Amino acid sequence: MTSSDNKHLGAGAVTTGWGVGLPPTIVTNADLEARLDTSDEWITERTGIKQRHIGGTTAELAIMAGKEALESAGLLPEDIDILLLATTTPDERVPGTSATVQNALGITGGAFDLNAACSGFVYSLVVAHGLIGIGAKRILLIGSETLSSITNMDERTLAVVIGDGAAGIVLEATEGPGELLSWDLGADGSLKHLLYCDHGGYLFMDGKEVFRRAVRIIVNSAQNALNKVGIRSEDIDLFVPHQANARIVEAARERLGISPEKAMVTIDRYGNTSSSSIPLALVAAIQEGKLKKGDIVLLSGFGAGMTWGSALLRFGG
């Protein structure tokens, strides 16, 4: 089965719980202005960011999000068959950060990390639906990142755009077809030099070049997912893109022909949180009443690799 063939082989799954994990420290643009050669005006205009949460470890934030998601689904840790942790900032090289999170939460099922950079949550969501298709019943899926741990916070370019945080969902097998309508995953490793972090080093990003490609990549991927099931962009109730830059979100939304009120924007409060950005925006949409059962929601991400991914859902099945 490839990205171009979305026929479901097994059982479907629906989202039954959600939660977030954010470090308590909020860093505003004014805080950055005080110690870097930058300004609230520049950050706001160029990125749409007003503040970000900074701190914690990837495991700590994931544990917070996981606990809240289990509670909201009304499940116990032992009900979970698989813990899937999307992260590009694992706390250790070995083992996966999912091992720490599994142990802290008391999950008895399998646990693994998935790194597809900022597309990690969409990749994980598709993998989770696949696992349910072959017999898993309940999956806890979390995006968790501490980008501040790999960013030179004294260097303005990236220090102003990144944020830390986690968010997760519980996916449960269902009798019906489930909520995943279609998906599109892709990668082009020849572009890995645009955004990378070597072991022990700091994150590097060719911001202009990534920006230039991002809109086209998101739009193509979203259109692939829509075309597979013949859903038109006008039929989308909510667009939840990776929150890398408000200008990228805006340009992609416009090119896709989605009206402004249907695009979820949370970059103003969280900054760019890589794998956590889509689930943080998704959970915010649920909690703010912007996403209801039966709504058509389009998740689209892109990031280092470069990777990209879209998932089209009928939320709640």
**Max CA pair span of the chain:** 56
Q: Which is nearer to ligand UT7, 231 or 251 (CB)?
A: 251
State how far the alpha carbon of 96 is from the alpha carbons of 68, 76, 93, 110, 276, in Å. Answer: 21, 22, 7, 12, 17
CB neighbourhood size of 227 (10 A): 13
Q: Which of 129, 224, 242, 245 is catalytic?
A: 242
d(CA 155, CA 173): 46
Lay out the site mask for ligand UT7 across 57-96 (x = CB under 6 A, - = otherwise): ----------------------------------------
214 contributes a contact to ligand UT7 by CB under 6 A: yes
CB of 197 to ligand UT7, least distance (A): 12
Contacts 24+ apart (CB under 8 A), 285-289: 285/238, 285/240, 286/18, 287/18
Clarify whether 193 is annotated catalytic.
Answer: no
Q: Which is nearer to ligand UT7, 15 or 58 (CB)?
A: 58
173-212 residues in contact with ligand UT7 (CB under 6 A) are: 207-208, 210-211
161 contributes a contact to ligand UT7 by CB under 6 A: yes
Applying CB under 6 A, among 31, 33, 42, 109 the residue interacting with ligand UT7 is 42
Nearest to 139 by CA among 101, 174, 172: 172
Applying CB under 6 A, among 279, 303, 305, 309 the residue interacting with ligand UT7 is 303
DSSP string of 200-238? TS--EE-HHHHHHHHHHHHHHHHHHHHHHHT--GGG-SE
Q: Which is nearer to ligand UT7, 100 or 119 (CB)?
A: 119
Q: Are 263 and 249 in contact (CB under 8 A)?
A: yes
Q: Which two tokens stand for residue 212?
A: 């230039």
Applying CB under 6 A, among 14, 63, 70, 118 the residue interacting with ligand UT7 is 118
Clarify whether 197 is annotated catalytic.
Answer: no
Q: Which of 6, 115, 245, 272 is catalytic?
A: 272
Q: Which of 115, 118, 129, 245 is catalytic?
A: 118
CB of 245 to ligand UT7, least distance (A): 4
Nearest to 119 by CA among 203, 260, 16, 214: 214
Q: Which stretch binds ligand UT7 (CB under 6 A): 71-79, 106-114, 152-160, 307-315?
A: 152-160
Clarify whether 272 is annotated catalytic.
Answer: yes
CB of 207 to ligand UT7, least distance (A): 3
DSSP string of 104-158? HHT--SEEEEE--GGGHHHHHHHHHHHHHHTT--EEEEEEEEEGGGGS-TTSHHH
Q: Which is nearer to ligand UT7, 15 or 47 (CB)?
A: 47
Residues that bind ligand UT7 (CB under 6 A): 38, 42, 46-47, 118, 156-157, 160-161, 207-208, 210-211, 214, 244-245, 248, 272, 303
